[in-house]
Amino acid sequence: MDGWLQKVRQESKLLQGERTELSELIEKEVYGWYAIFYRWTRGLCEPNESEVEPIYVNLSHDFRVLLTSGVMVDREAYWKRLVSLYAARRGDPPSHILNLEMLPVGPDHMLVTFDLFKKGVLQKKFDSALMRRNPALAAGVEWVYVHESDHTLDSPPPIP
């Protein structure tokens, strides 16, 4: 499988640096999602659901996420979980999104992968997501599926 992925990455102009409108929308959404999530989970905003609602709005109606616990939840269950995380991670260091890669899957979908590292922490989170264009949304894209996983590292990664 690694050979297949290597070949796909070599053939993908997007992963070699060519930017598209869709890739720019997705990159903005990934970083925007984390900015909202960070403020919400650290209690750096008002405890009003409207603060975190932009995340919910950009989840497709058929959205699913496989959490690091191995539990798969739908859009409504994820929303309840998200709302319950208000200030739950107060004092935690911020995560840094590294190794963001996008692979086109047809004209309107992208497979997106990225690592989330915390400075000095030997645990990283790796997320893969299927995202698709949705011109009806202000963001222009929506999250369809996310797979979260945790990994232990031998040493902390260099974070710019």
Identify whether 157 is part of a domain.
no
State what percent of residues in the chain have pLDDT above 70: 89
In degrees and rounded to multiples of 5, residue 104 shows phi and psi of -60, 140
Structural domain that includes position 69: 2-152
What pLDDT does 119 receive? Answer: 86
The string of pLDDT tens digits covering residues 16-48 is 557 899 999 999 999 999 999 999 999 999 999
What pLDDT does 120 receive? Answer: 82
The string of pLDDT tens digits covering residues 67-115 is 999 999 999 999 999 999 999 999 999 999 999 999 999 899 999 999 9
Identify whether 159 is part of a domain.
no
Number of domains in the chain: 1
- Looking at residue 143, which CATH number applies to its domain? 3.10.450.50
Identify whether 93 is part of a domain.
yes
Identify whether 54 is part of a domain.
yes
Which residues, 6+ apart, have CB-to-CB distance to 2 below 8 Å? none
